[in-house]
Amino acid sequence: MTILVQHLPRLRRPQAARLIAEARDRQRRRRRRILLAALVLGLGGGLAYGMQQRAAGSGVRTPQALPNPCALLTNAQAGAALQDAIRFRVAGDALRPTPAALYRSCTWHGAPLTSFGYSNESVEITITRTTRARFLKGERLAGARPLRGLGAAAYAVEGPARFVEVYSRGRALMITATAVDPIRAEVAIAKLALARLR
């Protein structure tokens, strides 16, 4: 009787590096899709807001600059929500933080898993201008679950892209977190951010 034993190939450094590079690329593409969705919602809301102001005959008004999202959450608060240590944060403004900026964002990154790769643990807050009507329309289009007790209106989107979006004072805050329970972490982060938002 003959027994064939098949040995599984071991991952070598070039193969491991390739797999890590592919994972990072997928993560970057996912973030771009989420950011594009937030930008589209914010741009539509901004256009609607501008047309509403012109229709009301209010004349030309310079919009107030969007707040700095990096100031809405400390590294310790972000780490507590993720249950991971935060190593650094990065501001990702679409344009310079001028009054005309379409959005502002900030991302907090967790501790590295190895010497050549970071974990997927991260928190991102993106702020855009919008109207309540535009915000609620976005909620209906996304098929989201309404959340009570957050800002003037809030909803959670669950599925491949999980995030919480909150409306407060003409601005939408989109919070994305990669955690064991992302929606719960995002709601906790939204409460902290709203407490500091002026």
Q: Give the mean pLDDT of the chain.
A: 77
Amino acid at site 103: Y
Amino acid at site 194: L
- Residues 81-99: what's their mean pLDDT? 72
Give pLDDT tens digits for 148-190.
Answer: 989 999 999 887 888 999 999 899 999 998 877 888 889 999 9
Share of the chain above pLDDT 90, in %: 20
- Domain extents in the chain: 13-196
Assign a CATH topology to domain 13-196: Protein Transport Mog1p; Chain A (3.40.1000)
Tokens of 146: 């309404």
In this prediction, residue 131 carries a pLDDT of 92
Note whether 162 and 176 are within 8 A (CB).
Answer: yes
- The residues, any chain, with a CB within 8 Å of residue 94's CB and separated by 6 or more, are 39, 101, 102, 103, 104, 105
More confident residue, 60 or 76: 76
**If DSSP codes are grouped into helix, strand and coil, which group holds residue 70?**
helix
- Residues 129-154: what's their mean pLDDT? 88
- Residues 138-152: what's their mean pLDDT? 86
| Beta strands at 117-118 and 122-129: parallel, antiparallel or unpaired | unpaired
